[in-house]
Amino acid sequence: MSTTALTSTVQVLGAPGDRHDEILTPAALEFIGRLDAAFAGRRFDLLAERRRRAERLASGVPLDFSRATPAVRTNPDWRVAQPAPGLTDRRVEITGPPERRMTVNALNSGANVWMADFEDATSPTWDNIVGGQLSLLDAIERRIDFTTPDGKQYRLGDDPATIMVRPRGWHLTEKHLVVDGRPVSASLVDFGLYFFHCAQRQIDAGHGPYFYLPKLENHYEARLWNDVFVLAQELLGIPRGTVRATVLIETISAAYEMEEILHELREHSAGLNAGRWDYLFSLIKNFAHRPDFVLPDRAKVTMTAPFMRAYTELLVRTCHKRGAHAIGGMAAQVPSRDAQANETVLAAVRLDKEREAEDGFDGSWVAHPGLVPVCRGVFDGVLGERPHQIERTRDDVHVTAEDLVAVRRTAGPPTIEGIRANIAVAVRYFAAWLRGSGAVALDGLMEDAATAEIARCQIWQWIRHRAVERDAVVELLDDEIAALGAEYPWARLDEVRALFERTAMARDLPAFFTPDAYARYLVHRPAVQS
């Protein structure tokens, strides 16, 4: 990879904040400028290809395994890199936004890995983005201890979890950092700031710069990330192959290119993760125009649905075939203070993790520290002293292209309770997101943007195919907006309603709610001084 590309001058438009100058240093901005100069054009082209693929799917072109890459899939000899320090045993991983309290709690949770999530669990306000980088830097420097105004102390323990960072996806931009008036890729901002400030610090601490990569739709997007890693390591004098990245398989098209994605990233790969809620969102979104893909209430589409089983089993088989970790999906439950209710919660989590461990996953995700012991207990029971079960290659699994989209046995109309639940969760999440919170406890679950995406896409699909009349949705929306205002006086009701109507009730279905909502409501720049 050549490093001769000219540096793009990055201009900061975001309002200055406390300690922002520690992150937005001239050298760090120059580093981001080098990445932008090298990769902005390719990113633009890949996003254009995403739109073309979405149009093909909407027109009825079926998904299939790539005819261009059979040599990758049939070659038995290649493997991904060996696990990096701190990533050999990943039986429990916890996720959450990189705000200070969550950072301390997650690192102290007893989980093996913490995924610091700048994407679906973070509302991308400028303060959240820069503040999240400060939290990570402070945690690595072990200066994150703090006491709240009410006297509660947060102290980092002696054996913190390994940090992995999830930057925002390729489809998002950071409008507070621009080059020639053009916003910089949010992926490059989140990756670049963390890598610049923390890569060498993590290496010195015995780990390394590790990442989760979201929303990839094909192996060309994985190749772009691999080239970003190569250039970043070269620019900072870090040995090639030090970076490790786990790809979330959370789009329907990526499910058909798992081996190709691992192959592109093989020198930097840390395996694949079953990002199941975004995966369900992707399937609904891409086939929302088709009446045979109308799914019932969100709560009824479980991981035992045949098309979801095909996806997860194929993921385990693919990873283990190539020597890679397979990491299971999120347990989003929030423990209850009621003992009887809590036992029900823990039993549901235990059942979910037992299925994953028995299927061959090497670890799994939880959203709350209180679920770490349950997840650990299940995987301890299967793994014992082994750090993983990669040797279990699942040669018994055979998944066809049709199996991944075989929704026939799951399809069905919604109930009025399911319609109301989707509207309620969407508007409540939107309200919190607009206020700056991307991880929100709703009805006993820790929800992130994927939940709102599923909810609003299902409403759009149900209206389109007359599973519910538009007037009925409007009436339910009126009720839920009123209930939201009564419960949360701070909620920006007009903006919440407008966001719901644009993303769930418009003629065309937006690919994501986040880009437009971010541009309308979260981009704030300092006033021009006269």
- Rounded to whole angstroms, how far apart are CA atoms 85 and 157? 19
- Rounded to whole angstroms, how far apart are CA atoms 364 and 389? 13
- Rounded to whole angstroms, how far apart are CA atoms 524 and 519? 9
Instruction: List the beta strands (DSSP E) in 305-381.
Output: 326-331, 363-366
DSSP 370: G
Other Cβ atoms less than 10 A from the Cβ of 217: the count is 26
Active site residues: 166, 448
Other Cβ atoms less than 10 A from the Cβ of 10: the count is 23
Closest to 16 (Cα-Cα) out of 122, 130, 107? 130
Burial of 253 (0-12, 13-18, 19+ CB in 10 A): middle
Closest to 176 (Cα-Cα) out of 21, 10, 7? 10
Length of the chain counted residue by residue: 530
User: What are the tokens at 259?
Assistant: 């081996």
Scan for tokens 């590790």, then name that residue.
210
- Rounded to whole angstroms, how far apart are CA atoms 412 and 305? 13
DSSP string for residues in 348-367:
HHHHHHHHHHHHT-SEEEES
